[in-house]
Structure formats: C-alpha cells, structure tokens
C-alpha cells in the first residue's frame, strides 16, 4: 500500500502480518474449515483425521435417541458430533462423537464447551482413530474433569462398550466394560441403563 503525506514522498507500508503460530492450539485457531476432516489438539499436538463413516455417526445418533428421555427431563443438551470441547488446563481441543452437557455449560470463547462443565462424552472407535480413542482420549478427558466417558468400540476383537467415571489424577478410577449387546449402567449424574444392542 502506498501512502502520501503533505510535502513528503510516498512510502510503502507492508500489510499487517499475522503473528506466527507458536503452538498447535494457535495453529488450530487459524485453520480454515476442513470439510471431511476433524482437527483436534491432543497433548499439544495438532491431529487432523478423516471424519467417521456414516455407521460411525449413526452410532452417536442412536445414543442420542436412547438418552433423549433423560435429556428432556433434566433440560440438558445433547450434541452429536461437531461440538468442540476445550480441556481445562492445557486447552487441548477435542471433538467428541457425542456430548452431554447442562444448558449453562461454561464455554471457552463462543465455540467450545469447557471440559469440567460437561456431563458425559462419547467416542465411537473407528480404524483410523483406534489408538487415540482407546488410549489418549480417556486420559485427556479424565485430566480435564469430564465426569463420564463412554467408549463404543465396534471394531474390537470382541466389540464392546466401556463406561469410565470418577476422574482423579488424570485417570478414570471406575471402568466397566460390557460386550456389545449387554446392558450397561451409566453412573450418576446420568443414572441410566443403556441397552448396548442399539449399536449392533
């Protein structure tokens, strides 16, 4: 851009520069939309992975249908995919397949729900996300104070659903795993018997 001032020669003014990203979180916040991909920050690393298959998202939708009576009775909010969760502390950003939150869940900015204000998160394991969903995310959610994590794992050698609760010291202290098709009790504050045959 060229500017002129009275009695002075024109000078070149460089356009404003965006400061370089210093962290994965900074980079995430500057990414353009990535249709067909999910961008998350886990342990300070930016991870971009393909979104799940239609069957993957259908599992999360079925869970939403199953929990609908509880959600409506307690005036909670159920979010199927697409809602970012900011992990309290490190500010990692995850996109669970299903989120259960109170209507007044605190936020980080306008777009992210804060992890410590949630009720439950769910991850549906797919071939491309198996290690992260099974190993990393339970630890990250527990450290962020998410009371309950549900892991739907249809691709395990023995397909199963696991509920984890009582986060303490960066780990869930109570873990219950059932074979897909068996009933599973989701603990307080949800207090719900889930028929996992919905995922078959």
CA proximity to 85, closest of 97, 75, 72: 97
User: How much is the pLDDT for 45?
Assistant: 93
More confident residue, 186 or 33: 186
Q: Report the distance separating Cα 125 and Cα 108, nearest Å.
A: 26
- Confidence check: pLDDT of 65 > 90: yes
Q: Report the distance separating Cα 112 and Cα 138, nearest Å.
A: 19
Q: Beta 160-168 vs 171-179: how paired, if at all?
A: antiparallel
Give per-residue pLDDT as tens, 6-48: 343 444 444 455 566 789 998 998 889 888 888 999 999 999 8
Give per-residue pLDDT as tens, 92-123: 999 999 999 999 999 999 999 999 999 999 99
Joined tokens for residue 121:
């998160």
Tell me the CA end-to-end span of the chain in Å, nearest whole number.
62
All domains of the chain in start order, with CATH: 20-199 (3.90.1570.10)
User: How much is the pLDDT for 36?
Assistant: 85
User: How much is the pLDDT for 90?
Assistant: 94
User: How much is the pLDDT for 92?
Assistant: 96
Cis peptide before 189 (omega within 30 of 0): yes
Q: What is the mean pLDDT of the chain?
A: 90
Mention every residue, 6+ apart, whose C-beta is less than 8 A from residue 87.
93, 94, 115, 140, 141, 143, 144
């Amino acid at each position: 851009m060229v500017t002129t001032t009275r009695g002075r020669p024109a000078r070149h003014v460089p356009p404003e520069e965006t400061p370089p990203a210093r962290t994965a979180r900074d980079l995430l916040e500057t990414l353009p939309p990535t249709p067909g991909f999910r961008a998350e920050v886990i342990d300070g690393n930016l991870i971009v992975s393909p979104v799940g298959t239609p069957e993957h998202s259908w599992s999360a939708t079925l869970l939403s249908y199953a929990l609908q009576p509880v959600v409506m009775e307690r005036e909670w909010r159920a979010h199927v995919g697409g809602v970012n969760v900011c992990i309290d502390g490190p500010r990692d950003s995850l996109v669970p397949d299903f989120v259960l939150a109170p209507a007044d869940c605190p936020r980080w900015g306008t777009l992210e729900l804060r992890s410590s204000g949630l009720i439950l998160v769910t991850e549906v394991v797919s071939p491309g996300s198996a290690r992260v969903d099974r190993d990393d995310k339970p630890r990250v959610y527990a450290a962020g104070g998410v009371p309950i994590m549900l892991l739907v794992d249809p691709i395990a050698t023995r397909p199963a659903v696991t509920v984890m609760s009582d986060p303490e010291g960066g780990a869930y202290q109570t873990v219950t795993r059932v074979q897909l098709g068996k009933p599973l009790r989701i603990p307080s504050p949800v207090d719900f018997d889930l028929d996992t045959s919905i995922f078959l």
